Amino acid sequence: MIQLPNSFGQFRDRETLARSQVLQRSWPIVLDLCVAGIGLACFYGVVQLARYWFGHPMPQITISLSPRALPRYAFYSIVRIWLAYALSLVFAIGYGYTAAYNRRVEALMIAGLDILQSIPVLSFLPGVMLAMVALFPSRQIGVEMGAIILIFTGQVWNMAFSFYSSLKSIPRELREAATIYRFSPWQRLVELELPYSAIGLVWNSMVSVAGGWFFLMACEMFVLGSRDFRLPGLGSYLQTAASTGNAEAIVWGLFTMIAIIVATDQLLWRPIIAWSDKFKFEQVETTSRVRSPLLHLLQHSRGLQSLRNHTVGPIAETIYQRLAENRRRIAALPAPNEASRRRHERWNSIVRAVALIVVVASVLYAAFHALSLLREIQRSEFFEIIVGALATFLRVNTALLLASAWTIPAGVAIGFHPRLARIAQPLAQIAASVPATALFPVVLIALVRIGGGLGIGSILLMMLGTQWYILFNVIAGAMAIPTDLREAATLFHFTTTQRWKTLILPGIFPYLLTGLVTASGGAWNASIIAEYFRLKNQTMQTVGLGAVISAATDSGKFQILLLATIVMAGMVVTINRLVWRPLYRLAETRYKVEA
């Protein structure tokens, strides 16, 4: 017998094994070099951005429609969106935490959140932009900070609602375990509340960033009275291309935006989704996990492991030790006597009373000056605002019904099937991020040709801007349903109707409610773009509150802008009291996963 083939096969196996060992030893080094390169690139970007921001204010900027300007414009827009997102995340956690655990102000804060999320970006625009420009009169950073805060107003509200809803739905046994182990407030936040709300926060972060892209066109290029504010960015590029009807520039801008969104999905969102999957509340381990090759590589990077072991870990351990020592020291202190306790309570009451007086006085002062502006409004303008509010109310609810009809089943299907999620989630992220206003000229021309108009087109534009809030929250809710409950439904051979009625709808109800609330506010917000549109130096508008606000902003009529915003806020508060608050109480008491 000839042994050569067998010996050759063994030699080939040893060669393959040796190559794999070399790759295993060299790949972490390559990964560390990539991480270092990313760090150097970020440092260079920060330096260039600082030179631009802290330079002198630029005169009226002419937006170039050349494709060569797109890399610089895209860089500026990415920085604005992610700085606004960081600000939104901090605000959402602080606001949601305070509203969930302070019952004295909970109802007021949630009502305020409903009002703020429904106020259009253009209603914030005059005060924010003028304040930032006055704060930094000799630096470009004033206009930049104004744009970032305006993007923040389009991102933050659904994240705050998501964190608040997650805190209210934490199972009782987890809260009791945290109490038994005497967690400090910081430990409870880091070890329980943030992990439990991670899935909802991640998916709402995705739709928030998508909302930032959606409102980028309104935040980077706008007119305020006689002043024309323009910032170099992808949003101003797309708005200029859409207003001039330059189809080639629109294609280049959308191609750049889609490339950024795809890269963000692959390099950021997919690893974060895979990482957050471990925070799923369930009794048994699921057989299908969300995976990310990039997350696997980052977890096996020697440089990052060394940083975690020698820097992050010791710092976290030191913080926990000091917190424990402070708690032991406070517990060892003698209890204050009755007289000192009453004195302390008296001082606290005085401080609260003084703070309340200052707040009430400030509100009354602002209300007095606001009412003085409202005296200038004529009766015809008042009736125009009322009719517009009713028209926008009908469009908002129509858009919500149409959006819910497809997003609920689609979101459940994506959340239940990780393989489908790997394909559908990036596509949904791209579709949610593409500004509908860039595509709206084509849609509007088509509607006009078939006999429609801006009245119908505005509903479509509202759907394009708000349906993603429902879809992404339903996906998060479906992913958060415990695997053991899904297996129990399969074991007992539930029909499709029984599965939806007994498992799916109750399981996703808190998330669906958050999606509907934020989508409703987003639809009111999107009305400023949907009902008032410029096309080739022509202004097209329909009857609606958004059209009134946009027209008042263009003409600098702040009294009409104020009254329209007040009417919108009043309608939102009424809807909150009659619809959303009872549904939130139902979600907190009945549709809550507990042992």
Residue 117 clears pLDDT 80, i.e. is over it: no
Asked if 445 and 394 sit in the same domain, the reply is yes
Rounded Cα distance between 88 and 207, Å, is: 12
Burial class (CB in 10 A: 0-12, 13-18, 19+), 87: middle
Give the tens place of pLDDT for each residue, 22-38: 445 555 566 666 666 66
Give the tens place of pLDDT for each residue, 383-400: 888 999 999 999 999 999
Number of H helices, E strands in the chain: 28, 4
HSE-CB for 190 with a 13 A CA cutoff: 8
> Contact at 8 Å (CB) between 251 and 415?
no
Domain that includes residue 307, residue range:
300-330
Residue 106 clears pLDDT 80, i.e. is over it: yes
Residue 511 clears pLDDT 70, i.e. is over it: yes
Asked if 509 and 524 sit in the same domain, the reply is yes
Residue 486 belongs to domain with CATH number: 1.10.3720.10
Contacts of 21 (CB under 8 A, 6+ apart): none
Asked if 312 and 261 sit in the same domain, the reply is no
Task: Determine, yes or no, domain membership for 12.
Answer: no
Asked if 219 and 322 sit in the same domain, the reply is no
Task: Determine, yes or no, domain membership for 280.
Answer: yes
Task: Determine, yes or no, domain membership for 89.
Answer: yes
DSSP 181: T
Assigned token pair, 100 = 């969930």
Helix axes 418-433, 379-416, angle to 10 degrees: 160
Give the tens place of pLDDT for each residue, 34-79: 666 666 666 666 666 666 666 666 656 778 888 888 888 888 888 8
**pLDDT level of residue 278 (50, 70, 90 thresholds):** confident
Give the tens place of pLDDT for each residue, 418-452: 788 778 877 777 777 666 655 666 666 676 666 66
> Contact at 8 Å (CB) between 221 and 235?
yes
What would the mean pLDDT of 498-507 be, rounded to a whole number? 90
Asked if 272 and 321 sit in the same domain, the reply is no
Give the tens place of pLDDT for each residue, 166-217: 888 888 888 888 888 878 788 888 888 999 888 888 888 888 887 787 777 7
Q: How confident is the model at residue 2, as a pLDDT?
A: 44
Assigned token pair, 106 = 């909970």
Q: How confident is the model at residue 48, as a pLDDT?
A: 67
Asked if 98 and 159 sit in the same domain, the reply is yes
Q: How confident is the model at residue 4, as a pLDDT?
A: 45
Task: Determine, yes or no, domain membership for 260.
Answer: yes
Alpha-helix residue ranges (DSSP H) falling in 333-378: 338-374
Q: How confident is the model at residue 349, as a pLDDT?
A: 78
Give the tens place of pLDDT for each residue, 72-85: 888 888 888 999 99
HSE-CB for 568 with a 13 A CA cutoff: 34
Task: Determine, yes or no, domain membership for 208.
Answer: yes
What would the mean pLDDT of 541-546 be, rounded to a whole number? 84
Rounded Cα distance between 273 and 215, Å, is: 25
Asked if 429 and 511 sit in the same domain, the reply is yes
Q: Which pTM does this prediction carry? A: 0.69
Task: Determine, yes or no, domain membership for 57.
Answer: no
Task: Determine, yes or no, domain membership for 100.
Answer: yes
* Biggest CA pair distance of the chain: 108
Residue pointed to by tokens 């509202």: 462
Task: Determine, yes or no, domain membership for 92.
Answer: yes
Span of 301-305, 454-458, 571-575 with lowest mean pLDDT: 301-305
Asked if 446 and 585 sit in the same domain, the reply is yes
Rounded Cα distance between 208 and 211, Å, is: 5
Rounded Cα distance between 303 and 418, Å, is: 31
Rounded Cα distance between 394 and 206, Å, is: 28
Give the tens place of pLDDT for each residue, 343-354: 777 787 787 788
Burial class (CB in 10 A: 0-12, 13-18, 19+), 455: middle
Asked if 253 and 314 sit in the same domain, the reply is no
Asked if 187 and 323 sit in the same domain, the reply is no
> Contact at 8 Å (CB) between 132 and 149?
yes
Asked if 205 and 307 sit in the same domain, the reply is no
Q: Give the number of domains in the chain.
A: 2
Cα torsion 331, 337, 343, 346: sign? positive
Rounded Cα distance between 158 and 113, Å, is: 9
- Strands 532-535 vs 538-541: parallel, antiparallel or unpaired: antiparallel
Rounded Cα distance between 50 and 521, Å, is: 35
Asked if 294 and 305 sit in the same domain, the reply is no
